[in-house]
Amino acid sequence: MIIGAVTGNVVSAFIVIATAATLFAHGIRVEEAAEAAMAFAPVAGEFARALFAGGLLGASLLAASVLPLATAYAITEAFGWERELDRTWGEAPMFYGIFFALIAMSVLVVLIPGMPLFAFMWLSQVANSVLLPVILVIMLRLANDRGIMGEHCNRRVGNALVVALTALVTGAVAVALVTL
């Protein structure tokens, strides 16, 4: 699991870096998904649109399944409600209700005519980056709470890494917000 998480994050980082370097080098500002696809035409040629569409489809299918499920797990766990996929609707009604409600809301938002989906996606990532330092601080506090973590409480090296990461992320968010 750790190898998968590290590999996934390293690949994601390289995708972001390569994309930024490619777009910035050509002075391309992307406002729509079609513009992003066309920005890769010098690299991918005539297959740029198909490659980008495949990537978007894969990311969308992954997000459509993982995000509502993770959110349903988080909410039901926070309230102590039953939460397992191998339970029936009758055994875990809140879990399945939240899961399907999130999917239904997502479908409705996507189907709104004229909805600027690219801007919507961008704003969600801005909110994610602004909230990340706050979440890191909360997680650090939880990881250091002996009443919750017991013998698995964070050690000094772990705390130092999280504090450094939080400072780095906070700095990056501050720079991004100032340069907007």
Q: Residue-wise pLDDT tens for the chain (180 aa)?
A: 688 878 888 888 887 787 777 777 777 777 777 777 777 777 777 787 788 888 888 888 888 888 899 999 999 998 989 888 888 889 999 999 999 999 999 889 889 998 888 788 888 888 888 999 999 999 899 999 999 888 999 899 989 998 999 999 999 989 988 887
Tell me the pTM. Answer: 0.63
The beta-carbon contacts of 32-41 under 8 Å, at least 24 apart in sequence, are 32/118, 33/117, 33/118
Amino acid at 143: A
CB 59, CB 36: distance < 8 Å? no
Q: What is the pLDDT of residue 71?
A: 92
CB 25, CB 44: distance < 8 Å? no
Q: What is the pLDDT of residue 1?
A: 67
Dihedral (CA of 140, 12, 6, 60) sign: positive
